């Protein structure tokens, strides 16, 4: 029995919370399957799209027809922690025969990973059929990528504009400045609606299915500190869209009994310039210099390998430093490197000074200690041919922590420095779903009428397999919309 809503209730087959790639994919797929669809979006029309609006939309693919060769393995390598062996062994059975405890377990199910990989090319083809354009991708590093990428031409903004226009054309109804607040369930526990907040007050939406695609919790400081810990207070979203991601979708589902999945204590980290208000003002110049903390001490290997495979680990170490900040110190040889501007996207210039002590006084680190650290680093540099466009193997000797590549003395003034903090691009913790994007509860059973997609789903543990987040949103958003529409159609037929 459905809750008795007021006369102001809006009635739909499917209500989608969120207007990024996951929400729009869900809405369009559901509407194309014949469902009456509403999309709720916290932001204004002009800022719609969450994180998707601001991403470069890099995709971990060899081509439009194939994911990268390491796609599945990267997920399998980071699918959870210390899973009990007999639980892991049971996943070789058909999913329907898994013990309920395993279905609710907080790890990324193998069949979910395989489904994801298999359905990326069809999702790309589907987006192309709707007018989304794909093309090559630039890169913020100077060395070759550790794995291949393609990209959406025009980035996430292009995708948002194309898919919103198509959704409007086929009858999807949008409610802007309206944020989902809580689920409505029938006396049988079936999700049958949403309560949402807007400037006009509480709004009620009755429906056959709810699809939660309203992001992670990177825009909610309380949740960030609660789950990630004290260093979370120094994190900030990488782009404006992340501030709209308050975590209500995750919270309301957990309160209704949903099983959690994904690594609630971790997040996708990118190194950014805290002086900048630009979108994704990343600073990737540090492999060619040194990183010091406020005490003027080095604390990590600045160049352990390809930067697209190592920057997340480095950035999380930056978050662990005093006040969550570090400083990239370079000498003037950085200006001799071809295409060196590609490795910094901040709109703020570096601080420049004739000596390191002066940089410290300006930026707030102990300059004398930093100079001693650089002197020790310079003595440990081996000599040899420096090549910034490949992993040159020039490593320090007798220095801790070592530097594995690009160990060239910093001895050519003026010196340049960028402050760097860790951005919280998106959080990893979310909801457990099956291959149809249906939310699983704590008892391993499906929560009828409830779906999740995009950042609201938890599939990442420990290390982010780069350039998979937009793909996650498209694949599981599309599947959620299709399945929810099928369920709504089945109910209509049963009542004839």
Given a contact cutoff of 8 angstroms between Cβ atoms, the answer to whether 110 and 76 are in contact is: yes
The predicted pLDDT at position 496 comes to: 61
pLDDT above 90 (res 4) = no
CB contact burial 124-137 (16+ within 10 A = b; e otherwise)? bebbeebebebeeb
Nearest CA-CA partner of 374 in 301, 300, 289, 304: 289
Given a contact cutoff of 8 angstroms between Cβ atoms, the answer to whether 53 and 246 are in contact is: no
Residue reference for tokens 């707030």: 364
Task: Please state, for a pLDDT cut of 70, what percent of the chain lies above it.
Answer: 97
Domain range list for the chain = 10-266+429-494, 269-423
Extended beta strands in 228-266, E state: 236-237, 260-261
Higher-pLDDT residue of 452, 493: 452
pLDDT above 80 (res 387) = yes
pLDDT above 70 (res 425) = yes
Q: How many residues does the chain have?
A: 496
Alpha carbon distance 474, 468 (integer Å): 10
Which CATH number is correct for 269-423, 3.40.30.10, 3.90.700.10, 3.40.50.1820, 3.40.50.2020?
3.90.700.10
pLDDT tens digits, residue range 452-464? Answer: 999 999 999 999 9
Environment class of 358 (CB within 10 Å of its CB; exposed 0-12, middle 13-18, buried 19+):
middle
pLDDT tens digits, residue range 268-309? Answer: 999 999 999 999 999 999 999 999 999 999 999 999 999 989
pLDDT tens digits, residue range 125-156? Answer: 999 999 999 987 766 678 888 889 999 999 99
Alpha carbon distance 24, 41 (integer Å): 11
Alpha carbon distance 139, 276 (integer Å): 20
Task: Report CA Rg, the chain.
Answer: 24
pLDDT tens digits, residue range 18-46? Answer: 999 999 999 999 999 999 999 999 999 99
CB atoms within 10 A of CB 188: 9
The predicted pLDDT at position 9 comes to: 81
269-423 and 10-266+429-494 share a CATH fold: no
pLDDT above 70 (res 417) = yes
In this structure, what token pair is assigned to residue 155?
Answer: 């980035």
Alpha carbon distance 441, 432 (integer Å): 8
Q: Which residues contact 370 (CB under 8 A, 6 or more apart)?
A: 292, 296, 297, 327, 329, 356, 357, 359, 360
Q: Which residues contact 442 (CB under 8 A, 6 or more apart)?
A: 104, 257, 258, 259
pLDDT above 60 (res 1) = no
User: What class does CATH assign to 10-266+429-494?
Assistant: alpha beta
């Amino acid at each position: 029995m459905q809750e008795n809503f007021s006369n102001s209730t809006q009635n739909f087959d499917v209500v989608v919370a969120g207007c990024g790639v996951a929400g729009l994919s869900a809405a369009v797929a559901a509407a194309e399957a014949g469902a009456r669809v509403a999309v709720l979006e916290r932001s204004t029309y002009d800022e719609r799209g969450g994180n998707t609006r601001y991403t470069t939309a890099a995709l971990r693919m060899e081509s439009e027809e194939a994911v990268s060769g390491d796609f599945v393995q990267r997920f399998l390598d980071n699918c959870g922690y210390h899973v009990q062996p007999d639980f892991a062994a049971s996943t070789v059975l058909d999913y329907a025969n898994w013990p309920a405890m395993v279905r609710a377990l907080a790890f990324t199910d193998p069949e979910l990973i395989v489904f994801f990989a298999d359905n990326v090319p069809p999702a790309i083809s589907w987006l192309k059929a709707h007018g989304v354009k794909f093309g090559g991708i630039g890169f913020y590093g100077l060395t070759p990528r550790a794995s291949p990428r393609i990209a959406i031409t025009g980035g996430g903004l292009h995708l948002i504009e194309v898919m919103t226009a198509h959704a409007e054309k086929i009858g999807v109804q949008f409610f802007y400045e309206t944020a989902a607040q809580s689920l409505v369930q029938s006396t049988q526990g079936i999700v049958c609606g949403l309560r949402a907040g807007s400037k006009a007050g509480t709004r009620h939406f009755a429906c056959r299915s709810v699809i939660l695609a309203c992001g992670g919790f990177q825009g909610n400081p309380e949740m960030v500190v609660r789950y990630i810990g004290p260093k979370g207070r120094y994190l900030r979203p990488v782009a404006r869209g992340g501030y709209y991601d308050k975590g209500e979708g995750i919270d309301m589902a957990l309160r209704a009994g949903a099983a959690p999945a994904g690594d609630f204590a971790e997040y996708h980290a990118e190194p950014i310039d805290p002086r900048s208000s630009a979108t994704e003002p990343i600073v990737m110049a540090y492999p060619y210099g040194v990183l010091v903390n406020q005490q003027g001490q080095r604390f990590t290997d600045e160049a352990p390998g390809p930067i697209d495979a190592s920057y997340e680990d480095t950035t999380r170490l930056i978050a662990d430093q005093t006040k969550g900040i570090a400083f990239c110190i370079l000498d003037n040889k950085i200006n001799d490197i071809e295409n060196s501007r590609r490795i910094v996207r901040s709109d703020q210039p570096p601080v420049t000074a004739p000596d390191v002590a002066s940089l410290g006084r300006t930026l707030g680190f102990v300059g004398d200690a930093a100079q001693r650290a650089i002197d020790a680093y310079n003595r440990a540099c081996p000599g040899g041919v420096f090549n910034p466009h490949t992993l040159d193997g020039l490593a320090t000797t007798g220095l801790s922590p070592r530097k594995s590549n690009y160990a060239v003395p910093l001895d050519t003034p003026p010196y340049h420095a960028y402050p760097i903090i860790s951005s919280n691009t998106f959080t990893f913790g979310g909801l457990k779903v099956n291959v149809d994007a249906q939310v699983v509860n704590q008892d391993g059973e499906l929560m009828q009428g409830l779906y999740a997609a995009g950042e609201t789903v938890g599939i990442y543990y420990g290390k982010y397999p780069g350039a998979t987040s937009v793909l996650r949103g498209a694949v599981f958003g599309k599947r959620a919309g299709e399945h929810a529409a099928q369920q709504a159609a089945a109910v209509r037929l049963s009542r004839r």
